[in-house]
Chain A
């Protein structure tokens, strides 16, 4: 078990944002329009990194999530909301 500097950024506009890393919800603040962002300097990761994302938004809205570990992009995923306005996925990533 090691501690890594982990950064999460989420782009888009959402009515619900649930981003979990290793089972812990990441608080994301809107720092600019379409850009939610949070930086953890020390975050414990038990390989592989578990990612759980659940988003609600508006049809046609682009979304993108970028997870950086030690300043390197570890995971990136993007898409566009359909009429359901709902996206959920889980992923694992070896660090």
Chain B
């Protein structure tokens, strides 16, 4: 681990993004656009306030999963990863570089979407906006770490894209967004209990409803953070210095 190399890697990834303005615009604006759409589809501030917080966590999770699985797959297939593995840089420097770069993109993404939701769309957040932002960034990092991990099992970008419905959609269906988790049958409830996104959505709902930072909220945040770290470690294990 070397902070200089982590920073250099993050800077490199952000420079790559900078050369792709269309992606930057989509990263920053698409979640906000969807929030606006959602607000007018429900046409009720009450229902919107119930669903919106969960979506503030789901969007960065989904988008970071997608862009990380594609960018890291590209690193693997264009052999830039092989070159990095011959150079004096640690795997963790590369991984944390990604986390830093995409984490900061997620901060901007969530800040814009949350800002628009609160000021324009009438979302009422009882708890701290900082906590909301923190949970959303943790979600983004979780999505990033999972994307990095599954990119090891894809041999083309076509396959990588298809891991999205496989790894992400079930989590969205079961996270309590559509049906409260308590109302699910035992099997679905159990499944929703082992999926990290459920805890993020629980935490987000809590922050919207209540001003207290209680033990359950702390526990939920720790679970999301632990899952992100576990996925990063699994992701690190898929970066090999030697390959067949």
Real binding pair: no
